[in-house]
Amino acid sequence: MKAKTTMTTSSCIGRDSRGAYRTWRETLAIAFMSVIGLLGPAKSCAQDVDRLRYVPPPQEIFQFFQGNLGPNNGRPLAVGYARYLHLMREKPLAETAGPQGVQVYRLLLETRPYNIPVVVRLSILPDSTGEVVAKISHSHRFADRLTANKTIGVSRADVEQFLKLLVDWGFWSMPVLERIETTRTSLGGVGWMLEGEKEGHYHVVCRGDANLTHLTGAVLFLVNVGQLDLVSTTTRPSDGN
């Protein structure tokens, strides 16, 4: 009986030890997965904060707008638009044109009511055809999240039509900013910026939708050729997506 009791006790101890080992192993695995789960959101949150806090430095603003927009001329627009372009992975037009020296034009607009940034960039190729890159951001807060990013070919006839619009309406001689008439300005309109790079010459024009005047045709041309669903930007974005 004594020997049997000893064997039974020993057997029970062995089972308890294996059970304790399994519990410790499972606990460690759960703890490890919990840490990994916490690190993921923490990293994501840190990236979100970086995006929200990103302010383009003066050098980057100058590279984008070549002094046309900056500390002494439309600084808020320069900071806001340079931030959008940076987060939407756009380069200064001088770099986009490349060594071939092709013409490049870029439209940046903020749709209402949620200020969602949209970019349409038209590159005119050496054979006089064109290529459009069109992008829509998720929101003004998370401009680097693109909900649309497409490349579209443009015919020679359409390119000629666009260039004629620019010439007829004097894009290259238009003032960068237009004087704001407080008695006529309506809040809540769409903000527009149209840039151009041609033969080493850069120009940019910023307007609200109420002051587009002659540029309306050129701007709408780029919106249409970009084939973007701007209706989607009238839906409130969810920052959780």
105, two tokens: 């034009």
With a cut of 50, list the residues of the chain below it in pLDDT: 1-22, 24-25, 27-44, 181-188, 241
Distance CA 179, CA 234 (A): 29
- What pLDDT does residue 58 have? 95
Rounded Cα gap, residues 153 and 123, in angstroms? 10
Confidence (pLDDT) at 35: 35
Between the alpha carbon of residue 101 and those of residues 28, 94, 124, 154, the distances in Å are 61, 9, 10, 18
| Tens digits of residue pLDDT in 86-110 | 999 999 998 987 656 589 999 999 9
